[in-house]
Amino acid sequence: MAETGEKRWVELGPVEEFQKQAVQPVTVERARLAITWKDGEFGAISAVCNHVGGPLGEGTLDGDYVVCPWHGWKFHCKTGFGEPGFEDDRVPGHEVEDRGGRLWVNLEPKTRRNKLPHDPHPLARKPERSPGPIRVVGISTTAMNRDLPRFSTSDELLRAALGHAGQKLDCEQRLIRLNDLSFRACEGYYSKSARACTWPCSITQMDPSDQLDQVYEAIVHWADVILVATPIRWGSASSLYFKMVERMNCIQNQITLHNRVLLKNKVAGFIITGGQDNVQAVAGQMLGFFAEVGCVFPQYPYIAHSRGWDAEDMERNVAAVRDSTALHDAARELAARAVDMARVLLDSAIEDRKLMRGGRKAFGPSRLEGLHDPGS
């Protein structure tokens, strides 16, 4: 029950219940609090992080600071002030008292929330195509020892496609090799909360050394055509391919939460090669994923080569691709089909419709209740 008077003191319960763990969440009279226990003393701050509303009450203690479980922002467990260097970015702090073995908290904060303005990440700008020729980005997903480079059949055909786009189709073209980039694997922020998976990617925002920003910049803000090349690894696309697309969940999540399509009027095509079979399954996964993030496809959106499950003589597989005029021509024709489709999209007056959550995550507004508002 609450005390009367200027302050709004509320009894939370037995003290020993709040001594069992360093940080725990409490909701009382619609106020969400993080109660802390450290060195024999209690603290109380708002449980709503200033970043994107993460649950501080589910966080951990790092010294005197509560660490948000979503993205690692830190606030002092008693004052609510941000960590050193960010003290003015603070959440409300509350008085808390042990009264005869019962814990009480004052719901009137002793410090007020203050959100400092933060410069938006460069990737957060609105995607707007600048004038100029069709732009084609090729993404190589093959992995190899950088000190012992070897012939890659998927890279060979990707180079043929990009070369044709630049030399014959008057396109700007760019090659990104995932193997040359240092980037972290997806850390599953979406599994914590839909709102925790942000655009730009939370990892990209927190870790300036993470180089997947080069892929985001190319596919969201630069390219009209995205060509992805992969070898077949145990019947699937490469591990680097999956490492990249898992980090692209932040792009799809913008559709789920905000009806915001970042990959609009983007054409995707695929090059798939390997000694093993299972081409159609690999292509199906790639088509399904890129469709779900908003891409469109030319007629016959992929080319592929495989010598079958029992073709273990890899040197012959290399020669079969390297010396094949037909496969190189197919790569060039894939680029031409994709560029033609991109020109159609750019030249047509297609109405810019507001999408109602296309793809497998299509559902009505009632399912979204509570996802948009981070709380107070």
Nearest of 52, 186, 48, 226 to residue 124 by alpha carbon: 52
Same fold, 9-106 and 122-360: no
Nearest by Cα to 152 from 230, 228, 215, 227:
230
Confidence of residue 317 (pLDDT cuts 50, 70, 90): confident
323 C-beta neighbours (distance < 10 Å), count: 9
At 212-246, the pLDDT tens digits run 999 999 999 999 999 999 999 888 999 999 999 99
What residues contact residue 324 under an 8 Å CB cut-off, 6+ apart?
305
The CATH classification number of 9-106 equals 2.102.10.10
327 with 285: CB under 8 angstroms? no
Domain range summary for the chain, segments of one domain joined by +: 9-106, 122-360
Could you name the CATH architecture of 122-360? 3-Layer(aba) Sandwich (3.40)
> 6-49: per-residue pLDDT in tens?
689 999 999 999 999 999 999 999 999 999 999 999 999 999 99
Radius of gyration of the chain (CA): 26
Q: Is 261:294 a contact under the CB 8 Å cutoff? A: yes
pTM over 0.95: no
CA dihedral 221, 344, 339, 214 (to 10 degrees): 10
- Using alpha carbons, select from 272, 251, 286 the residue that is nearest to residue 334: 272
Among left, alpha and beta (phi > 0; psi -120 to 50; other), residue 312 is: alpha
CB distance 123 to 203 below 8 Å: no
d(CA 80, CA 90) in angstroms, rounded, equals: 5
Query: Nearest 5°: phi and psi at 78?
Result: -115, -45
CB-CB neighbours of 87 under 10 Å:
14
